[in-house]
Amino acid sequence: MKRDKNPKLHTLYQINIIIMCLITLASLGGILYLTLMGGKYSDRDLEKARQQGREELLLDMEASIQGGTDTLKVIRDLYPDKIVIDDYGSYSFYPLQDAERNSFSPQDFSKDEKGILSFQGDASISARSGIDVNQNTISINYKKVRDQGLEFVCIYAGRFNSRQEFLSDETFSDHLLRASEAGLETSLYVTLNARTSDAGREEAESLIDYLKPWKEHFDGEIALQVIYPKKEPASDMARQGYTDAVLSACSVLSEAGYRPMVCADSKTFCGLLDLTRLEDCPRWLQEYGDSPYFPYRFSMWRYGAAIMLDGVEGSVFLDLKFE
């Protein structure tokens, strides 16, 4: 389907539709209330109930927006039984999966003047700060990064193409060696392209061969990034295929002595992967903000992008690891 050329107008159009639907439901609720009361009511009484339902709903929404609540937050509050994702000017709605939830709340996190988050939640959970880097990080002084209290770096190693060929990132080895020399904990992430179990196994085996010379230079953790395809709907068949691929790749990497995790944004986790089948896989959530909206369990969180840090030229991402 062709995207709207004006995403702002498209978003406003969708919001108006949602509001009108909610007003209709509120009106019907008022009518149902009168009906259940068991009395006989005139058309005037019914219209009054409709009007009251509309006014109450609009007043609640108006108060939220005027109080500084953004539109996405208002819509999310109206759909507590769904995951609502801002999808480049439109909204995607996903039903809740029967998967393990996280226990985080907005009060668990605070941000310093550099934009680095710290965790003050459950005392049984520890959180460490770090960064992840890719080809957009032009140069970086890893000793300065470490001196700012950041403990780990996750380095983009490359991606698989449609023929299951691994295309390495040209800056990968330089980042890996210099980060290791600076005393930072190092791990890797790659982008999978597999959509079947066999393809997932093939990509994992190719990755193992490629990483043999570098195995001693990082801690063995490899994040497998899954990206929602632009031209493919989230059908049940697609979800099954992508989930099969991830499980197969994780199994092969684990047998080879690596520690795999699944890496994705909220839309991909909710719309393209079956989280009930990935309960045993550590997850790296890529969702920007001061506290996570994603309700399910995860062990690493990329929360900040294009952050200015001492010693960094280019862009890096900020992360928290929970243990």
Could you list the beta-strand ranges (E) of 55-107. Answer: 82-87, 90-95
Nearest to 152 by CA among 115, 190, 189, 122: 189
Q: Strand locations in the chain, DSSP E?
A: 82-87, 90-95, 109-111, 117-119, 127-133, 137-140, 152-160, 166-168, 185-191, 221-225, 259-265, 283-286, 300-304, 312-314, 317-322
| Domain annotation covers residue 270 | yes
Are 117 and 82 contained in the same domain? no
Does the reported pTM lie above 0.75? yes
pLDDT reported for residue 209 = 96
Q: Which secondary-structure segment (H or E) carries 207?
A: helix 197-211
Spatial separation of the C-alpha atoms in residues 176 and 66, rounded to whole Å: 48
12 has pLDDT over 70? no
| pLDDT greater at residue 54 or residue 156 | 156
276 vs 180: CA distance, rounded Å: 36
Output the six-digit token pair for 128.
């460490």
Tell whether 303 is covered by a domain: yes
Confidence of residue 125 (pLDDT cuts 50, 70, 90): very high
- 39 and 123 in a common domain: no
Of 70, 95, 120, the one marking the end of a domain is 95
Query: Within this chain, do residues 87 and 145 fall inside the same structural domain, yes or no?
Result: no
Q: Are residues 173 and 284 in the same domain?
A: yes
Res 176 pLDDT > 80: yes
Q: Strand pairing partners for 319?
A: 130, 302
Domain match, 60 and 203 both:
no
Torsion sign, CA atoms 278, 265, 64, 30: negative
Q: Is 187 exposed, middle or buried (0-12, 13-18, 19+ CB in 10 A)?
A: buried
The reply to whether 147 falls in a domain is: yes
Residue 8 has a pLDDT of: 45
Q: Do 4 and 10 touch, CB atoms closer than 8 A? A: yes
| Co-location of 58 and 116 in the same domain | no
Tokens of 191: 């982008």
Whether the predicted pLDDT of 28 surpasses 50: no
* Assigned domain for 298 exists: yes
What pLDDT, in 10s, does the model give residues 222-255? 999 999 988 766 788 999 999 999 999 999 999 9
For the chain, what percent of residues have pLDDT higher than 70? 78
Please state, in angstroms and rounded to a whole number, the distance separating the CA atoms of residues 62 and 79. Answer: 17
Q: Which of residues 69, 95, 121 is at a domain's end?
A: 95
**What's the domain count of the chain?**
2
Q: Does one domain contain both 80 and 111?
A: no
In this prediction, residue 16 carries a pLDDT of: 52
What SS3 state is found at 87?
strand
Residue 9 has phi, psi (to 5 degrees) of -65, -35
146 and 284 both lie in a single domain = yes
Q: Which residue has the tokens 């509001």?
A: 19
What DSSP string runs through 156-180? EEEEE-TTS-EEE-TTHHHHHHHHH
Q: Is residue 2 part of a domain?
A: no
C-beta separation of 108 from 95 below 8 A: no
Position 187 scores a pLDDT of 97
The CATH number of whichever domain residue 165 belongs to comes to 3.20.20.80
My answer on whether 44 and 136 are in the same domain is no
Question: What pLDDT is attached to residue 36?
Answer: 43
CB-CB neighbours of 123 under 10 Å: 6
> Is residue 155 within 8 Å of 132, Cβ to Cβ?
yes
Kindly report, residue by residue over 261-317, the tens digit of the pLDDT. Answer: 999 999 999 999 999 999 999 999 999 999 999 999 999 999 998 777 889 988 789
> Does residue 84 contact residue 91 with C-beta atoms inside 8 Å?
yes
Same domain, 145 and 189: yes
Distance separating alpha carbons of residues 201 and 256, to the nearest angstrom: 12
Confidence of residue 47 (pLDDT cuts 50, 70, 90): low
Angle CA(14)–CA(73)–CA(283) in degrees, nearest 5?
A: 105
Pair (151, 46) in one structural domain: no
Range(s) of the domain holding residue 43: 7-95
- Average pLDDT over the chain, rounded to an integer: 84
Judge whether 1 lies within some domain.
no
Domain-terminating residue out of 95, 116, 138: 95
Residue 228 counted as domain residue:
yes
The model's confidence at residue 75, banded by pLDDT at 50, 70 and 90, is: confident
Q: Is residue 306 part of a domain?
A: yes
Nearest to 175, CA basis, from 322, 321, 312, 319:
312
pLDDT for 128: 96
Q: CA of 20: how far to CAs of 57, 58, 75, 280, in Å? A: 10, 10, 13, 42
238/219 same-domain check? yes
pLDDT in tens, 87-120: 777 888 999 999 999 999 999 999 998 889 999 9
